[in-house]
Amino acid sequence: MFNYSGKKVVVTGGGSGIGRAISLLFAQQGAEIHILDLENPTSLGTLNELKAISKESQLHIVNITQLTAVEETATKIGAVDILINNAGIAQIGNLGNTSPEAFQQIFDVNVKGAFHCMQAFIKGMLANQKGVILNMASVASTVGIPDRFGYSMSKGAIVSMTQSAAKDYLLKGIRCNCISPARVHTPFVDGFIAKNYPDNQEEMFQKLSATQPIGRMAKPEEIATLALYLCSDEASFVTGCDYPIDGGFIYLNN
């Protein structure tokens, strides 16, 4: 089960956090991984880890907010079996204090970035009459979270885009789903806490962990495992759905 030998997989933002966990897990199952990310020590480190598993795996330095750059990268990679839109940024602010510039920035990265990649890579899927797209949404697309106005907007758009694409390409051999994690313990979370709460980091970590009814944040590897199933041949009957993986956040958070 979950044999990815011969599968070519694109993971945006695959150099760190959830994307890194997905890239490594899929490579361990035999996939050829193509990471689309910005150039930084973390993404280069992940590439080295991948090369030890799958020599064919590559890192492509590309800004997904630029359609031309994404299209050029898609042409270079060629037709892929699976596209995982994981790249994204966070943003703090409510309706009143979110600036137009901040709103545009998170829209460009989280929404347009996913759109650019879907549009560029679906061409090869259509030519082969098969493919899987998996988008990373969030529990913020389903329930209200304080001070996450722009972020919630962007992840709500991801869910809608997922369902629309799944409907449009239902009979073209292309499946499209999305995952909605709650808070995941990644280097981003550690950096956010260190920057904003330098004097009480441990207290804030525990407070953020406790917002999940299960009592802790998710591990990136747990999100990757769900992704592994949804993109697999074993999930061939699954399309057009949003899958919460949230430690009870949506339905048990009384």
**Does 254 reside within a domain?**
no
103 with 161, same domain: the answer is yes
| Rounded CA Rg of the chain | 18
**Does 172 reside within a domain?**
yes
113 with 163, same domain: the answer is yes
CATH at residue 28: 3.40.50.720
Summarize the confidence of residues 71-90 as an average pLDDT: 97
**C-alpha triplet 86, 44, 59: angle, nearest 5°:** 60
19 with 70, same domain: the answer is yes
Greater pLDDT, 254 or 247: 247
91 with 135, same domain: the answer is yes
Report the Cα 226 to chain-centroid distance in Å. 12
105 with 200, same domain: the answer is no
175 with 210, same domain: the answer is no
240 in Cβ contact with 167 (< 8 Å) = yes
201 with 91, same domain: the answer is no
18 with 46, same domain: the answer is yes
Number of C-beta neighbours around residue 128 at 10 A = 14
- The fraction of the chain above a pLDDT of 90, given in percent, is 90
**Does 3 reside within a domain?**
no
Q: How far is CA 251 from CA 61, 212, 243, 248, in A?
A: 39, 11, 13, 6
pLDDT, tens only, 126-183: 999 999 999 999 999 999 999 999 999 999 999 999 999 999 999 999 999 999 999 9
What's the sign of the alpha-carbon dihedral 195, 200, 203, 207?
Answer: negative
159 in Cβ contact with 182 (< 8 Å) = no
74-78, 189-193, 236-240: the lowest-pLDDT one: 189-193
Which pLDDT score is estimated for 195?
84
H helices within 129-212, ranges in order? 149-168, 187-196, 201-210
177 with 197, same domain: the answer is no
Q: Which residues are catalytic?
A: 151
How many whole angstroms separate alpha carbon 47 and alpha carbon 57? Answer: 8
How many whole angstroms separate alpha carbon 253 and alpha carbon 42? Answer: 34
pLDDT, tens only, 183-211: 999 988 888 888 888 999 999 999 989 98
Summarize the confidence of residues 228-251 as an average pLDDT: 97
Which pLDDT score is estimated for 191?
86
156 with 74, same domain: the answer is yes
**Helix/strand number for the chain, H first, E second:** 9, 7
Summarize the confidence of residues 22-29 as an average pLDDT: 98
H helices within the chain, ranges in order? 17-28, 41-53, 67-77, 100-106, 113-128, 149-168, 187-196, 201-210, 220-230
**27 three-state secondary structure:** helix
Domain hosting 143: range is 8-182+220-242
pLDDT band of residue 111 (cuts 50, 70, 90) is very high
DSSP tag of 249: T
Which pLDDT score is estimated for 105?
97
Summarize the confidence of residues 41-68 as an average pLDDT: 95
Which pLDDT score is estimated for 61?
97
pLDDT band of residue 254 (cuts 50, 70, 90) is low
Summarize the confidence of residues 42-49 as an average pLDDT: 94
Helix axis angle for 17-28 and 41-53, nearest 10°, is 10
Summarize the confidence of residues 228-250 as an average pLDDT: 97
Q: What is the pTM of this model?
A: 0.95
